[in-house]
Structure 1
């Protein structure tokens, strides 16, 4: 009986330690404000952060379901990956999860839904940024000017609407990012020329009935035709939630942080 109680206590302490390590409140709250552009964000600082040192900077863009103004929901997918002890030790980086408002969208895209509920996305080649993208551009500019940011190691990635936003951010700030990843997103293939020099890893689920995998396939094919550095992973059994296997890819962060701007 005593051994059993000791085991249960050990298991509880182990569980508590794991929960503490994964505490999303480690992401501090912040807000970017400039005129009419407001972007709430959560930021994870490296352990033992030293403002005299320089750190990689990562932006992660959430999907439509995490939009709002609570400055919490954007941490639903991906945030726990960067909280892992091994990740924080191996890749000490500044990680920012901005939040898009309900009345905006990361990318400039027209969305239509047919009678069967199937969505179609018409991605723009040009045009003004949305309010959310305009705020995001300001946030990126603000942080990349910080003296503690390694400007040759700035990265972006996103899922669904955030994957679409990733492509748009790349074409608008193509000289800023060292590498990027896009999960179940899409873009106008004519835009690929603008970010062909940014290494990109694209993910999608083959059974996605929300955002057609054809969008990712088209971008990957176009980038390959442009001799760009692009990786494409299609999960045969995954639907729209392909961010789960994508964030579980053992080499995702190794691949991302291995890239540095020349």
Structure 2
């Protein structure tokens, strides 16, 4: 442990004897520590009809990130909203659906861990890496924006439902990636201004953005957004061009 040794000296200034302190040794010590992030992520993975039979085909994959109400240790809660709810009700998708659970009730999503999970699923399944879709609601919407800014070369399309937006970093998002934003005008949890301002900035910079702003809907905008059939048709039409 390096310590800064303080030495005192007497200085004659203007007829007054002053006591001054000076650091005999003050250094910035360079060092390095490799950290490891570990997270236990439970998840559901849906395979589209015909996946096993079509062994030569690759499929897209939709990563869905739930909101704060489904966080914790009960995986069944994920089925309460979004694409997992639709799957339970019998809906079929033309792509895989990956739905992990945030194990922490009062923590943000660990987006690094989510990407590790996503990459693992992609590598062990027949997934077209140019057709990776991303969506999230509320706290999961926040995480979806974060992933889009930190991994701009990864996703083919993004849909965010009532999420807080990283306005200062909007320009980090891939300009070629289509975006669809949903929000309720009467949201009293995450203000609609989050999406209003983000969409306005993205459009000003020339991004491809669709915005569905529900006039008489609160924070539960996901109930309308995820039952919008054209959303999934829109996802299926997107593909990255590298």
Query: Is the 1:185–1:216 Cα contact (8 Å) retained in structure 2?
Result: yes
Structure 1 residues without counterparts, runs of 5 or longer: 1-33, 107-131
Q: How does 1:35-184 map to 2 (within 5 A)?
A: 36-50=38-52, 51-78=55-82, 79-82=84-87, 88=92, 91-101=93-103, 102-106=105-109, 132-146=110-124, 148-184=126-162
Displacement after TM superposition at 1:188 (Å): 2.0
Instruction: Give yes or no for the alignment of 1:242 onto 2:221.
Output: yes
Per the TM alignment, residue 177 of structure 1 is displaced from its structure 2 partner at its CA by 0.6
1:242 deviates by 0.4
* Separation in structure 1 between the aligned mates of residue 41 and residue 76 of structure 2, nearest angstrom: 12
Which stretches of structure 1, 4 residues or more, deviate above 6 A after TM superposition? none
Equivalent-residue separation in structure 1 for 2:72 and 2:127 (angstroms): 28
- Structure 1 residue 251 displacement after superposition: 1.1
Shift in Å, 1:71:
1.6
Q: Which has the higher helix share?
A: 1
Number of residue pairs matched by the alignment:
201
Q: CA deviation at 1:35?
A: 6.3
Once superposed, what is the RMSD of the aligned Cα atoms? Answer: 1.8
Deviation at 1:169, TM superposition (A): 0.9
Tell me the equivalent position of 1:11. Answer: none
**TM-score with structure 2 setting the length:** 0.78
Matched, 1:225 2:204: yes
Larger radius of gyration: 2
Flag structure 2 segments of 5+ consecutive residues without an equivalent. Answer: 1-35
CA distance in 2, matches of 1:252, 1:163: 16
TM-score, structure 1 normalization: 0.72
Measured after TM superposition, the shift of residue 82 of structure 1 is 4.2
Match for residue 25 of structure 1?
none
